[in-house]
A and B are shown apart, each in its own frame.
Chain A
């Protein structure tokens, strides 16, 4: 008996040792944000994911910055001029800029940022070298004076498109980055933005702290922890427990749990990612069932009427949504276009007219729809639902779901998916042409459907160097072409769900960016 009592005392003592009241709630000067993935490296030229750019956007300044409404706003630069032929862009920097180690940030540093990222010897694979620089036609960068830097490009381009692209380059100082090897800087970045890097514990958190005296942006919180919590349910639990202020990617089935918690709410926004079903035009699929019918424009238009997108959003994505009328995000889309309505009778009528009546077995033709699992919100279920809608109007659709990274992505990039395939591509709030650049050429890497509408591509070639009004007119014309000869079955802009603590006054953005400058505590 005495031994049992002793054991109980020992167990209670151990519990008292390890079970003090939980006290992880952040104080009023600290923000805690939870994302699902960690950064791969703290190297600005290797940034490749949104989770990374969310952190880098606080640590590094950019020439311009894209605001939540899609406006391009001066940041480290005060303005810019464009050469007559549209190939040279000269930015003027703010005076008195410094990097976080105290080094003055001048035009030479900006030029170095670009040349370092583009240097093949560094073998960078991030968004800057893999997308921004080639898309902007980057050739070289040079410092013209202490505050003027010129970015040389190989062609004239839409002003907003190029400015937005160049605004994705994280500016840093030359001395530190030139003197330090890539592996070292990838763990110890010296930034130029509102917050300085303090600590990174891999797969755990990144801690940044406010730079005193930085006047270009207001920051309320002294510290921001960017925690990595891969499991969605754990993120939700941490939010409800009050240990985290903002969480990304709340699963639709847990929205109610957050909203009913009394300590946090979910903000749902229509993101900028365009979700669609692509019609494959590539001849590699010529022998596939269903390939021949979808080459017919009338069939592709008919299928637009066959799917009930708002119902898919409400039932599978947990939110209301408006169907997309084009491949361009609002407010940059063509305002004259209205989304195709759900009208299965009209779909059937058009299919009959197109020469594909129902057979004796009720089937017009058979086709396969490929889709990924685990990449987009509820993707596999959405594909199942879409296939059923098409089957309902007589297009017998078989679903082929593949793992995203090992199987689907390589097929997408090789354009070996189809004849129907479900996909989402990132868009923007700041440029229609950015969204339309998926189809910048018949052989563009992102023209996954191999669409080759001559009118579209002829108009695309006219967009370079136009003034904004003329550019907008051409854009509207192109979107009409797209609407009437659709290479995509238009669906929705993927909703994003953020869980936000009630103590915080912060508004989620459409472009998947988490920007905390303007966040304040609720009184």
Chain B
């Protein structure tokens, strides 16, 4: 297993290097970033000065190598806009994004599994049809539209939940301030519900359909018939025998799902004014704050690759037929 992990880590480094090259080139190919750091009335001389100060006058290769050199020494660079180490800025925002992502993931999985099971158990009935119709809607609705509708209907018309904003839970927890974290928790959840639904509804719908089809496949297998013929209650057949096998493809998806949700938080963070990494990166891209974008990209790549590795290891534990080599 250790050889497998080492090999995967080596592959990850190549992936991350590739991602940094792509991100670097994309940001630089989109025009000279200097113009975003000078006044709209700056003269050509002032623009040239700023270009030199920011280091954008150097050849692209040199800029990239300088960046990678710093990265190898643990230096992610300094944000051009905030004048602060880029890694600090990203880590500062990461807890808010993780709160949102995990909430959406939990929401998605905890609802998708029972919905999928019920739908599979009642295949062909009105319940199954209704659930699948809703799931299809959930996959079709654009996130920004759903977010705005939630703001207008739940937040503004019904006044059930906050329209926007964030109350931190994870950050005080990480700081060791458990009292504040617990005090904040109810407000954190209140603020999480609308953006969490916005982020998670697509994934919920997809997973519900996946659980349903997976359950239908497993329920038709011989060993399930055997279990039933032995006189086991239907609940035990479904939950103990069918579900465990039906969940294997879901577990595989969770790693990818987390990455998918992370990439999808930008819209929810913007609509609900959620101070997370998604908005940070979105603004950094607009402002061409290259060190900041690179840092976020590298960090997200690490997380994505790491999570997939963990999922692969869990997968092997869940299904003994699967060998890591």
Contact = CB atoms under 8 A, between A and B. Distances in A.
Interface string A390-412: 00000000000000011101110
B151 interface: yes
A183 B83 contact: yes
B47 A413 contact: yes
B44 to A, nearest CB: 5
A182 B83 CA distance: 7
A228 interface: yes
B163 A238 contact: yes
B124 interface: no
Contacts of B240: none
A21 B161 CA distance: 8
A41 B283 CA distance: 13
Interface string B67-90: 000000000001011111100010
A104 B51 CA distance: 37
B53 interface: yes
A445 B47 contact: yes
Nearest to A426: B40
Interface string A201-241: 11110000000000000000000000111110110011011
A231 B36 contact: no
Interface string B95-109: 000000000000000
Contacts of B148: 231, 233-234
Interface stretch (B57-65, B134-142, B257-265, B267-275): B267-275
Given A120-B53, A130-B50, A202-B275, A446 B40 contact: yes
Given A17-B186, A18-B193, A437 B83 contact: no
A269 interface: no
Contact of A22 (B159, B273, B275): B159
Interface in B8-42: 30-32, 35-42
B152 interface: yes
A217 to B, nearest CB: 26
Contact of A130 (B38, B186, B193): B38
Contacts of A357: none
Interface in A4-62: 17-22, 24, 37-38, 40-41, 43, 46, 48
A461 to B, nearest CB: 17
Interface string A167-203: 0000000000000001100110000000000000111
Contacts of B189: 17-18
Nearest to B152: A237
Contacts of B288: 405-406
Interface size band for B: 35 or more
A459 interface: no
A280 interface: no
B41 A234 contact: no
Contacts of B35: 409-410, 413
A17 B190 CA distance: 9
A240 B156 contact: yes
A426 B39 CA distance: 11
Contacts of A445: 41-44, 46-47
A405 B93 contact: no
Contact of B41 (A131, A203, A405): A131
B53 A425 contact: no
A125 interface: yes
A227 B273 contact: yes
Contacts of B49: 120
A332 to B, nearest CB: 17
Contact of A125 (B37, B186, B279): B37
Contact of A41 (B83, B151, B163, B271): B83
A444 interface: yes
A410 B33 CA distance: 8
Contacts of A17: 186, 189
A237 B186 contact: no
Contacts of A204: 165-166, 273, 275
Nearest to B188: A18
B151 A186 contact: no
B155 interface: yes
Contacts of B44: 443, 445
B92 interface: yes
Contacts of B89: 202
Contacts of A233: 148, 151-152, 271
B286 A203 contact: no
A485 interface: no
Contact of B164 (A130, A131, A183, A229): A229
Which of B156, B272, B279 has the most chain A CB atoms closer than 10 A to its own CB?
B156
A127 interface: yes
Nearest to A187: B84
Nearest to A446: B41
B155 A46 contact: no
Contacts of B270: 230-231
B43 A230 contact: no
A289 interface: no
Which of A43, A125, A231 has the most chain B CB atoms closer than 10 A to its own CB?
A125
Contacts of B92: 202
Nearest to B164: A234
Contact of B36 (A43, A230, A409, A443): A409
Interface in B188-243: 189-190, 193
Interface of B: 30-32, 35-44, 46-47, 49-50, 53-54, 78, 80-85, 89, 92-93, 148, 151-152, 155-156, 159-166, 186, 189-190, 193, 270-273, 275-276, 279-280, 283, 286-288
Given A183-B84, A241-B156, 19 more contacts: A18-B186, A19-B160, A19-B161, A21-B159, A41-B84, A43-B83, A46-B83, A120-B49, A125-B50, A130-B37, A134-B46, A182-B83, A183-B78, A233-B271, A241-B155, A241-B163, A405-B287, A406-B30, A444-B43
24 contacts: A17-B189, A22-B161, A41-B81, A123-B54, A125-B37, A125-B50, A125-B53, A127-B39, A131-B41, A131-B42, A183-B84, A202-B89, A202-B92, A202-B280, A228-B273, A229-B273, A234-B271, A238-B163, A241-B155, A410-B35, A411-B31, A445-B44, A445-B47, A446-B41
